[in-house]
Amino acid sequence: MNNQDEQEDVKALELLEKAVYKAQNALEKTTHFQPFLMLLTDSHEVEVYENEVEDSIESYALLENLLTKRVKKGDIDIMILAVDTMIPEKFVDNISIGIRLHLEEKSQRDKKIGARYLYVPYELCQIKGEDMYVRLHHPIPVGFPAEYIL
């Protein structure tokens, strides 16, 4: 792995971390989170898109439409589309609910498997008399061909 690849990995990991913390904070406050889109542009700016649509499927579809239009500018380096979801059975160990992060990177667009889902299983926990907290488990990566950053 060369220095350029390492820098790209660091950028993706930093954006993933921001997305996971955003979801985790919402889960701790309300026990769920609305889907959201997080982008890192070529100029290193982070853009976050959300909507107020309560139905998760409809909200996610609106974000996909927005992403399809936004990607046409050609300045997206990394994108993450996040949703609260049930983890597919074939990937479940003990925890079946998770944060699904759809990750695509401009640096990976020429690869056959240029995108990944990262499922981050979580548990909502509360100790009597204290605030709710989220226990995150090890992420489960699933690779597939890119859909948006082509």
> For 27-150, where are the E strands, in sequence order?
36-41, 46-49, 76-86, 97-105, 115-125, 133-136, 140-144
Instruction: Name the more confident of 113 and 133.
Output: 133
The domain limits of the chain are 3-144
pTM exceeding the 0.75 threshold for the entire prediction: yes
pLDDT higher than 80, residue 147: yes
pLDDT band at 5 (very low <50, low <70, confident <90, very high): low
Average pLDDT, the chain: 90
Q: Which amino acid is at 21?
A: Y
| Mean pLDDT of the 5-13 span | 80
Closest C-alpha among 111, 114, 83, 96 to residue 12: 114
pLDDT band at 2 (very low <50, low <70, confident <90, very high): low
* Model confidence pLDDT, tens digit, residues 42-94: 999 999 999 989 899 999 999 999 999 999 999 999 999 999 999 998 888 88
Residue 135 has what pLDDT? 93
pLDDT band at 98 (very low <50, low <70, confident <90, very high): very high
pLDDT band at 148 (very low <50, low <70, confident <90, very high): confident
